[in-house]
Structure 1
Amino acid sequence: MTVATHEVFAAAADHRRVVIIDDDPTGTHTASDIDVVLRPDTAAFDAFLRGPRKAVFALSNTRGLPRSTAAAMVSGIVEQARTAAKATGQDVAFLLRGDSALRGHVFPEMEAVAQNTSGLFVPAFLERGRFTRDGVHYISVDGTAVPAADTAFARDSVFGYRSHSIADWVDEVTQGRWKARTVGLDVLRERGYAAVRDALFDAGPHEVVVPDATEHADLETISEGLIAAERSGKSVVTRCGVSFASVRACLRSRTIDEAKLSGRGRLLVICGSVSETSTRQVDALGELANRRIEISTAASIGGCPDMVGELTTRITAELDERGVAMLSTERSEHGGPDTPTMLLDSITEIVSVVANDVDSVIVKGGITSSRVATDGFRARRATVAGQLMPGVPLWLLENRPFVVVPGSVGEDDALRRLVSAFAG
Structure 2
Amino acid sequence: MSTSTVLDLEDAISGLPPSPSKYSHKSTQAFLEQSRNRVPILVALDEDPTGTQTCHDINFLTVWDTTTLVEEFRQTAYGSGFFISTNSRALHPPQAKDLMHEICSNLKSAAGDAGVEFEIVLRGDSTLRGHFPLEPEAAEDILGKADAWILCPFFCREAANTPFARDATFGYKSSNLRDCVVEKSKGSISADRVQSLTLATIRQGGPEEITRQLMALPSGSIVIINAAATEDVDTVVLGLHQADAAGKKLLFRTGAAWQLSLPGSVGGLIIAGSYVPKTTAQLEVLRKRGGDRLITIELNVKKMLEFEESAKTVIEDAATRAEQEIPNGRDVLIMTSRELVTGEDEASSLDIGSKVAEALVNFLTSLKVKPRYIISKV
TM-score by length of structure 2 reads 0.75
Q: Which residue of structure 2 lines up, in the alignment, with residue 334 of structure 1?
A: 341
8 A Cα contact 1:101 1:153, kept in partner: no
- How far the C-alpha of 1:70 sits from its partner, in A, is 2.0
Aligned-pair distance for 1:208? 0.6
> What is the root-mean-square deviation in Å for CA atoms of aligned residues?
3.2
Counterparts of 1:215-364 in structure 2, within 5 Å, are: 215-242=229-256, 258=261, 261-263=263-265, 265-276=266-277, 277-278=279-280, 280-281=284-285, 284=288, 292=297, 294-295=299-300, 297-304=302-309, 307=313, 308-319=315-326, 325-334=332-341, 336=343, 337=349, 338-354=351-367, 356-363=368-375
Q: Kindly tell me: are residues 13 and 196 of structure 1, through their superposed partners in 2, closer, same or farther at Cα, counting changes over 3 Å?
A: farther
Task: Please give the secondary structure, in 2, of the residue aligned with 1:34.
Answer: coil
Q: Distance in 2 between matches of 1:350 and 1:201?
A: 50
**Aligned-partner Cα distance in 2 for 1:341–1:48:** 29
Preserved CA contact (<8 Å) 2:43 2:119: yes
Task: Give me the identity figure in percent.
Answer: 24
What is residue 118 of structure 1 aligned with on the other side? Answer: 147
CA gap of 1:189–1:319, structure 2 versus 1, over 3 A, is closer
5+ long unaligned stretches in structure 2: 1-21, 344-348
8 Å CA contact 2:150, 2:224 repeated in 1: yes
Cα deviation, residue 186, structure 1? 1.9
The 1:330–1:162 alpha-carbon spacing in structure 2 relative to 1, beyond 3 Å, is closer
Specify the alignment match of 2:187 in structure 1: 176
1:30 is aligned to 54
Structure 2 match to 1:376 = none
Q: Secondary structure at the match of 1:106?
A: coil
Cα pair distance change 1:230/1:9, threshold 3 Å: same
Task: Show the 5 A alignment for 1:109-188.
Answer: 109-115=135-141, 116-124=145-153, 130=154, 139-140=155-156, 146-178=157-189, 179-188=193-202
- Say whether the 8 Å CA contact 1:113–1:237 is kept in structure 2: no
Matched residue type, 2:249: S
Alignment match, 2:114: 88
- Please state how far the C-alpha of 1:183 moved relative to its aligned partner: 2.2
Q: Is the 8 A contact 1:42 1:80 kept in 2?
A: yes
Instruction: Give 1:19's match in structure 2, choosing from 39, 43, 46.
Output: 43
- Structure 1 Cα separation of the partners of residues 232 and 329 of structure 2: 49
1:128-150 deviation digits (Å, cap 9, x = unpaired): xx3xxxxxxxx32xxxxx22122
The whole-number CA distance in structure 2 between the counterparts of 1:224 and 1:280 is: 38
Runs (4+) of structure 1 exceeding 6 A deviation are 286-291
Mark the CA change 1:26 to 1:327 in structure 2 (over 3 Å): closer, same or farther.
Answer: closer
Greater mean deviation of Cα atoms: 294-303 or 1-10: 1-10
How far is 1:222 from its partner?
A: 2.3
The structure with the greater share of residues assigned to strand is 1
Alignment of 1:326-405 (within 5 A): 326-334=333-341, 336=343, 337=349, 338-354=351-367, 356-363=368-375, 365=377, 368=378
How many residue pairs are counted as aligned between the two chains?
334
Match of 1:66 in 2: 92
